[in-house]
Chains A and B, each alone.
Chain A
Amino acid sequence: MTRANRLTAWLLLAPALTIVGGVVGYPFLRTLYLSFFDAHLLGGIRGWTGPANYVQAFTSRDFLAAIGHTLYFAVGSVGIEVVLGVLVALFLNRSFYGRRVLRALLILPLALPTIVNGIMWRWIYNPEYGALNAFLTQTGVLREYRSWLGQPDVAMNMIIVADVWKNFPLVTLLVLAALQTVPTDLHDAARVDGANAWQRFWTITLPGIRPALLVALVLRSVEALKVFDIIYVMTRGGPASSTKTMSYLVYEQAFSFLQIGEAAAYAFVTVAIIMVFVAVYIRLVRSQGVAG
């Protein structure tokens, strides 16, 4: 490559790199810096404290509990999204009248803003007037109305249901695209050889959709580990802090308790956990050899 071309390339990249450096890179380093100081949102930076904020993070019951809640949410929602997403994709891969309409309908939850999804489900779960209670009592499943988001051992599961409804279509669409590349004659040959549906799935379909499935899995995991919006709008971390996630705790520590040094340490631990998954994702994309 000529010198002129190299120069052109970096000039063309300059605006994007300036934005990424200025709006992400610099603040990111500032977060790291802040995490080593005793700092107050309004009072400013008071003094270097070394690793004290991190020690505080890892001995704080609230933060450790938040890590637990986040992992519970991520494993629960992503796990169900992947299983349901694949099942629906396999279903929509059959030929029947109306499957195009169903495929289009998958876009509705995906395009719905997260906040709207949150208020929608909060209204459905409403303890006094909610549709879920009305439906379950009118069909005789429940005898009386329940407070779905008011019980510490139930609330997070109900948030997971809301998240699954919105996000499983992403898995379905990615897997459905991958299914187009699985050759049907392989299936026919295996059927002739007497393989049952389960065997055909494991030996033909699954290897074919594996790359797409892994991508969907990691992509959803990263999103789930940063969860904030749906928690904020559905429970504000309650009841009894049972739905407080890592991002929620960063928000609370910084903007309710104004302790931004500690909040920065919480944030950095959150970022570190998520970056493990991002690294896995980049390896995946790289190994597929399409980009770069």
Chain B
Amino acid sequence: MTGRAHRVERILTYLGAAALALFLLAPFAWLAISSLTPLAELIRKPLPWISPRMDLARYRLIFVSPEGENFRLALRNSTVVALIATSISLVAGMLGAYALSRFPSRRRAGVLYLMLATYMTPPVAILLPMYLILSRVGLLNNVVGLALVYTSFLTPFLTWILKGFFDAIPEQVEEAAMIDGASRLGALWHVTLPLSLPGVITAVLFGVILAWDEFLYALIFTSSTASKTLPVAIAEFTSRHAVDFGLMAAGGIIAALPPVLLAFALQRYLIAGLTAGGIKG
């Protein structure tokens, strides 16, 4: 390749890189800017884009003032639901995945694919009876009820991801511990578990992100302020406070920050989970 062609290629590469970065960042950056810009500036024409009068007034409104109470409750509900659903699913998923990994059989291979099919089943498949069941047992508008519903997709997904991680840990490690006198559960607890820590971190990351993101179940099963989760509060927010676009943007940023920061901090695990969940199983 000639030097000139090489230089042109390099320039094109960096132009492409800049375009991609802009495409990925611009929409979110505009959401962040909108959350800081006073309404009068946001609706001015022609749009000034960057205003010198940016402030944190809306974040103060959401976090400190009495009007932000409902939003703060939703933030709490989302956290509680994600933690309960992930904890239950993590325990059930780890035990199940361990069995599927260490005691393979044809029937249990079938169970593994059943888990995969279950995870991919659309919410509408169980939505209506679930509503009737929850209302009969008094768990509508209840964070625990919603968390139980979330185990419907988290348990099979975490089982599926964790099975792949357990497969990667050689059985000999456990056998060695068992020869040294450890029970199977003891070997699982003291040897396999520490080794599968990356798998557990990945599972928790996905559990929390998926639960935090869920909308349809939350919309149907929680309508009281005491139980509503963040996505539902935000969807409502947009119809109720339709006037202040910036407030809606601030709500969006706050809802986005926990999963986005978590995903960036645990990048390695996120990618491991995506490829494991997607390809290896």
Please give the residue numbers on chain A whose beta carbons come within 8 Å of chain B beta carbons, in ascending order. Answer: 1, 5-6, 8-10, 12-20, 23-24, 26-28, 30-31, 34, 41, 88, 91, 94, 96, 98-99, 101-102, 104-116, 118-124, 126, 128-129, 131, 134, 137-138, 165, 169-170, 173-174, 177-178, 211-212, 215-216, 219, 222, 225-226, 228-229, 232-233, 246-247, 250-251, 254-255, 260, 263-264, 266-268, 270-271, 274-275, 278, 281-282, 285-286, 288, 290-292
B128 adjacent to A254 (CB under 8 Å)? yes
Kindly state the separation between the CA atoms of A128 and B47 in the bound complex, as whole angstroms: 11
Whether B215 lies near A115 (C-beta < 8 A) is: yes
Q: Write the B96-113 contact mask toward A (1 if CB under 8 angstroms, else 0).
A: 101110111100110111
Which of B10, B129, B133, B235 is in CB contact (< 8 Å) with A115?
B235
- With both beta carbons as reference points, the residue of chain B lying nearest to A250 in the complex is identified as B124
CA distance A14 to B99 in the complex (A): 10
Q: Which of B132, B164, B216 contacts A228 (CB 8 A)?
A: B216
Residues on B with C-beta less than 8 A from A216 are: 278
* Chain B residues closer than 8 Å to A215, beta-carbon distance: 278-279
- Tell me the minimal C-beta distance from B44 to chain A in angstroms: 9
Interfacial chain B residues near A28, Cβ < 8 Å: 121, 125-126
Find out whether the CB atom of A267 lies under 8 angstroms from the CB atom of B124: yes
Contact of B127 among A126, A138, A250, A275 (CB under 8 A): A250
Cα separation A18 to B89 with both chains bound (whole Å):
11
Can you list 24 contacts pairing A with B, beta carbon distance less than 8 Å?
A1-B103, A9-B108, A20-B156, A30-B128, A31-B126, A96-B10, A98-B17, A111-B263, A113-B255, A114-B231, A119-B248, A120-B30, A123-B30, A123-B34, A138-B46, A174-B279, A215-B279, A228-B124, A247-B123, A250-B127, A270-B124, A274-B122, A290-B281, A291-B109
In the bound complex, residues from chain B placing their C-beta under 8 Å from that of A290 are: 164, 279-281
Contact A34 B128 (CB under 8 A): yes
Set B24, B96, B279: member contacting A211, Cβ < 8 A: B279
Determine the distance from Cα of A11 to Cα of B164 in the docked complex, in whole angstroms.
20
Nearest residue, chain A, Cβ from B158: A16
Tell me whether A120 and B111 are in contact in the complex, defined as CB-CB below 8 angstroms, given that A13-B100, A28-B125, A115-B235 are known contacts.
Answer: no
Please tell me which stretch of B62-70, B173-181, B269-277 contacts chain A, meaning at least 4 of its Cβ atoms lie within 8 angstroms of it. B269-277
In the assembled complex, B198 has its CB within 8 A of some CB on chain A: no
Q: How far is the CA of A17 from the CA of B103 in the complex (A)?
A: 16
B149 near A: Cβ within 8 Å? yes
Which residues from chain B contact A23 at a C-beta distance below 8 Å? Answer: 126, 130, 148-149, 151-152, 155
Are A292 and B109 in touch, CB under 8 angstroms? yes
Q: Is B54 an interface residue (CB 8 A)?
A: no
Which residue from chain A places its CB closest to the CB of B277 in the assembled complex?
A219
Give the residue among B88, B113, B125, B131 with the most A Cβ atoms within 10 A. Answer: B125
A17 to B107, CA, bound (A): 13
**CB-CB nearest in chain A for B238:** A119
When the two chains form the complex, which single residue of A6, A112, A219, A266 contacts B278, counting CB atoms closer than 8 Å? A219
Point out the residues of chain A lying under 8 angstroms from B267, CB to CB: 104, 107
The interface residues of chain B lying within 8 Å CB-to-CB of A169 are: 24
Q: Which residue of B lies closest to A12 (CB)?
A: B99
B30 touches A124 (CB 8 A): yes
Q: How far is the CB of A3 from chain B (nearest CB, A)?
A: 12
Whether A222 lies near B120 (C-beta < 8 A) is: yes
Task: List, in ascending order, chain A residues with CB within 8 A of B122's CB.
Answer: 225-226, 247, 270-271, 274
CB-defined contacts of B104 to chain A, threshold 8 Å: 292
The one of B27, B102, B184, B263 that contacts A110, using a Cβ cutoff of 8 Å: B263
15 additional A-B pairs beyond A13-B99, A31-B128, A233-B235, beta carbons within 8 Å, are: A13-B108, A17-B111, A20-B115, A23-B155, A27-B130, A129-B45, A169-B24, A170-B278, A177-B271, A211-B279, A212-B278, A229-B231, A263-B128, A270-B125, A281-B116
Q: Is B13's CB within 8 Å of the partner chain A?
A: yes
Q: A13-B111, A27-B129, A255-B220 are in contact. Are A281 and B46 (CB under 8 A)?
A: no
Nearest-Cβ distance from residue A65 to partner chain B, whole angstroms: 17
Nearest B residue (CB) for A18: B92
- B23 neighbours in A (Cβ, 8 Å): 165
**Which of A13, A120, A174 interacts with B274 by CB under 8 Å?**
A174
CA distance A203 to B262 in the complex (A): 39
The answer on a CB contact under 8 Å between B128 and A291 is no
Please name all residues of chain B whose beta carbon is closer than 8 Å to the beta carbon of A281 when the two chains form the complex: 116, 120
